[in-house]
Structure 1
């Protein structure tokens, strides 16, 4: 099967800025891969992420190393052995899913054995800021069913308290992005429980999260930076109650679906997560989000504008992608 691969870098402005404990982003830089058989184009979008040693140059180069195999007709299963987990493999894997669906004349979820996709409700992320600013942001988003708050350390309790006061009926998740020490977590967790926080995401640096083994947190803990693929799953199951699965970490939808199945078998809850990206990156993750306990697919909502056609999003409800977008 002869194919043509094209790949390009794109830059999408963020509405304002996206601030976490590690820094500030004002634009989403994404890689778009398109694989065509001459009649059907398949597309995938991925986000190079510096925390994992990625940048645009490296991800584009990674895609190029797989060009020969992709254009010669490699399968999604074969792609798993050609590229390591990460953004380059994600862009190609999602493009192959899209291409296969269009070639078969069915939706991508049919290929995965699902009869349909249901709409999902995403949380909405509030960037790290002063307590007053985060409270004002929470008030503006207070009708959303769930908010995810970025904190930068043990003093984050002030931000959480401000958000809770501004949005008393909204469910809350706190994401530390590795900013806490174990002692700070032990001090902070009971206070977060008092504020009815549902989940604490990645409290400790991934390299130090062995300290969580045996710790009975009053708020369930969720792995993000600590989990990429099934290789880390056994360790995460000893330390966390939930795992955040992102296509850019797992290296595509193929591994993400397998990872979710094994995580559930171990009794872990699933969060379907994303980087800040357009609807093209989020569309395949809607399949991953089916049945997830937590959905964090608000990437397009954080942009100044999304690509067209994009996902239909009403409030916090994301509808299945149209075939013109993906799958």
Structure 2
């Protein structure tokens, strides 16, 4: 990959905050807004945009991401490649935002969509999970009924004793929906073992990140009857090897691994190691979903529902219909510039 142009780029980086439609609860955290770093690269009349939220449990915040970008301003504006970013910045939200801005700008310069530049097949709409915030079982069941267009549901669970009830209540409310559960590091081996019969009875298809980071050895000899997915335990490709034989699914998030460039490399390596792939998100607008949508065509599980929990989104935006997500090239990564 060569530089996009010999002319200097103009870099803009700013933090945006957008409120959520309602408080969102997971193990140990409650979110009421979505804060993100938006990076814009201007090359004459051409504009590339990228959005990063960072990784909250690694203290990778929009403020810290902005400092990382500003420290490299001169280097970035002189021109850099996506491959060089892998050395200039660590995995995380800052590199994600900048990497995606470079992909978007590259699409404009070449007059080709990102998926084509990446050597991918033409995209199709993807079945996506819709996520239920951890709450009382009846509250989660009510919300599951409201999501009547969803065909796949992801239940956030917590480190208490009501997880089996939550799963049973949602299954009763949505008997035909595909289900997965996400503990966000909240289980012990004992609590997972106790809840597992209810998960099996409810037809849960995947259990995501049951144990805390650093406790991957708890997965050894677990013999779980349901596939286990790693999320927090796998940040980028360097974490793959130690999960072989421990989990069956790898959740790739662009904010974790640091952009679409690393995500595509990570996906290839994970498949070579025998893992199934999942694409997830840390929240965000359609500018976060769009590059992840490119990766989604390689994944058996897709979790790209971030914008539905926000009071406002980009224009144009990704769309949701019949439980699927669709991202036209006009949102991001197409040959023309999208509207903010």
Smaller-chain TM-score bracket: over 0.9
Q: Residue 199 of structure 1 aligns to a residue in which SS?
A: strand
Structure-2-length-normalised TM-score: 0.93
Structure 2 CA distance, aligned partners of 1:144 and 1:280?
A: 22
- Deviation per residue, 1:107-156 (Å, 9 max, x gap): 11111012411111111000011011011111212441100000102421
Provide the residue aligned with 1:221 in structure 2: 228
Structure 1 position 205, deviation (Å): 0.2
- Deviation per residue, 1:5-60 (Å, 9 max, x gap): 10011111111111111221111001100011112110000103320121222110
Provide the residue aligned with 2:38 in structure 1: 32
Provide the residue aligned with 2:62 in structure 1: 56
Structure 1 position 301, deviation (Å): 1.2
* 8 Å CA contact 2:26, 2:134 repeated in 1: yes
Structure 1 position 238, deviation (Å): 2.5
Structure 1 position 191, deviation (Å): 2.3
Provide the residue aligned with 2:326 in structure 1: 319
Provide the residue aligned with 1:7 in structure 2: 13
Provide the residue aligned with 2:293 in structure 1: 286
- Say if 1:105 and 1:217 are closer, same or farther in 2 by CA, change over 3 A: same
Provide the residue aligned with 2:316 in structure 1: 309
Q: Residue 113 of structure 1 aligns to a residue in which SS?
A: coil
* 8 Å CA contact 1:29, 1:48 repeated in 2: no
Provide the residue aligned with 1:149 in structure 2: 155
Within-5 A mapping of 1:63-82: 63-82=69-88
The list of structure 1 runs, each at least 4 consecutive aligned residues, that deviate by more than 3 angstroms after superposition, is: 324-327
Is 1:161 paired with 2:168?
A: yes
* 8 Å CA contact 2:317, 2:327 repeated in 1: no
* 8 Å CA contact 1:173, 1:200 repeated in 2: yes
Provide the residue aligned with 1:95 in structure 2: 101
- Say if 1:70 and 1:32 are closer, same or farther in 2 by CA, change over 3 A: same
* 8 Å CA contact 2:151, 2:322 repeated in 1: no
Structure-1-length-normalised TM-score: 0.97
Q: Residue 167 of structure 2 aligns to a residue in which SS?
A: helix
1:189 to 184, 196, 200: 196
Structure 1 position 101, deviation (Å): 0.7
Deviates more, 1:59-68 or 1:82-91: 59-68
How many equivalent residue pairs? 327
Q: Residue 309 of structure 1 aligns to a residue in which SS?
A: coil
* 8 Å CA contact 2:104, 2:332 repeated in 1: no
Structure 1 position 248, deviation (Å): 0.1
1:238 to 233, 237, 245: 245
Q: Residue 95 of structure 1 aligns to a residue in which SS?
A: helix
Which blocks of at least 5 consecutive residues in structure 2 are unaligned? 1-5, 335-340
- Deviation per residue, 1:215-251 (Å, 9 max, x gap): 2101110000000111000112231000110000000
* 8 Å CA contact 2:14, 2:37 repeated in 1: yes
- Deviation per residue, 1:69-119 (Å, 9 max, x gap): 221111000011000000000000000000011000111111101241111
Structure 2 CA distance, aligned partners of 1:44 and 1:313?
A: 21
* 8 Å CA contact 2:167, 2:198 repeated in 1: no
